[in-house]
Amino acid sequence: MSLKIEKIPFGSMPDGRTVYKFRMTNESGAVAEVCNYGATLVNVKVPDKTNKLVSVVKGFPSVNGYLADRTFGTYLGATCGRYANRIAKARFVLEGREYILAANNGDNSLHGGIEAFHTKYWDFEVDEEYVHFSCESQEGEEGFPGKLKVRTSYGWSATNELSILYSATTDKATPLNLTSHAYFNLAGSGNILTHRMKFHADRFIPILPDAIPTGEIRLVKDTAFDFSEFKAIGKDIDKQESQLINGAGYDHCFVINKEEYGGLALAVEVFAPETGCGLKVWTSKPGIQFYSGNYLRSELPASDGKPLAYREAFCLEPEFFPDSPNQSGFPDCILQAGQTYNHSTIFQFYVED
């Protein structure tokens, strides 16, 4: 059997438009589900060490949960943009002009603003290998320059690799940083503190108390951020280090070890001893944000029938570095008119006995 893709009604937008969930089932029976509200990753079910399917991505049973969740700022499973992560003081200067953005995280802009890509109804198209979502962002939307056309495509392989392909074009130079805000729990339930994690990153980006980068890039060695060998997430998370205090746990961008910009690199590996389910994240981006679910919560129950809870899931968000439009020492995040933004992420699921 090749990849099977089903289109399933998932509820309605406030204006009555039907939202659809797309269930991708591979030949081994593993499942990945996405929906066109927010171009969202809804669920992934993969076999554990006993060959039982385990739901390893947190989601809601209908679009109603996502509509409510957006008011909490959890961004559950969403495609975030125009600029994932934070831009300081909700402003930046580009080509001599200052742009004022929507401030939705104190004085800062977070994940593109108030009505950003995570709140959009995306158009959809399905072929034999991918579910494609597309949308447009108009000039001045949330304060950003240029009219932008964006496409997020999800693929699901026979070997349980979830591919996310991003592409975009603009008619005017603009910062662009698209990522997936999926929440993972490879044990299926409970907190994520026993998960064992290894980063292929020797450096990380320190933050101020409002989560804006200080501008420096620091070695992880001799800090709680040293995951150079597999280590339980909970081992150092409550240490009284200033960076852990600033993030209320881990909420930091790690600088991926890679020789040059572009091309896929292995960023992180993580697995849950309880189930043997593991995950490797490959990306073309220079950084990856690790968020340990320090503010995770919800009013409506998730797909397992329970509300989302503190540190019950973690995020691994491939990205340009936070606040790059204001940080001259960080990699260039500006998409120019006439260029095409092409980035990809692979969430590679595996199992260990």
pLDDT tens sequence across 134-153: 999 999 999 999 999 999 99
SS3 state at 168? strand
The alpha carbon of residue 106 and the mean position of all alpha carbons in its chain are separated, in whole angstroms, by 21
Tell me what pLDDT residue 158 has.
Answer: 97
- Hey, which residues are catalytic here? 181, 317
Is residue 105 assigned to a domain? yes
Q: What's the length of the chain? A: 353
> Is the residue at 228 inside a domain?
no
- Residue at token pair 């108030």: 114
Residues of the chain with pLDDT under 50: none
d(CA 66, CA 76): 7
pLDDT at 262: 64
Whether residue 283 is contained in a domain is answered as no
pLDDT for the residue numbered 260:
66
Given the structure tokens 């009505």, which residue do they identify? 115
pLDDT at 1: 57
Total count of domains within the chain: 1
Please write the tens of the pLDDT for every residue from 329-348. 999 999 999 999 999 999 99
Q: Are 48 and 276 in contact (CB under 8 A)?
A: yes
Q: Which pair of tokens denotes residue 47?
A: 């076999």
Domain region containing 73:
4-191+295-351
Give the separation between CA 8 and CA 119, rounded to whole angstroms.
20
Cβ atoms 87, 93 nearer than 8 A = no
What CA–CA distance (Å, rounded) separates 115 from 199?
A: 33
Q: Is 209 inside a domain boundary?
A: no
- Is 237 inside any structural domain? no
130 is written with which tokens? 């991918």
Q: Give per-residue pLDDT as tens, 86-112.
A: 999 999 999 999 999 999 999 999 999
Residue 310 is part of a domain; what is its CATH number?
2.70.98.10
- Tell me whether residue 140 is in a domain: yes
Q: Please, is 241 exposed, middle or buried when counting C-beta atoms within 10 Å of its C-beta (0-12, 13-18, 19+)?
A: middle
147 in Cβ contact with 68 (< 8 Å): no
Q: Is residue 255 part of a domain?
A: no
343 in Cβ contact with 285 (< 8 Å):
yes
Q: Amino acid letter at 305?
A: G
Structure tokens at 81: 């943009």
Residue 197 lies in a domain: no
Work out the number of other CB atoms within 10 angstroms of the CB of residue 27: 12
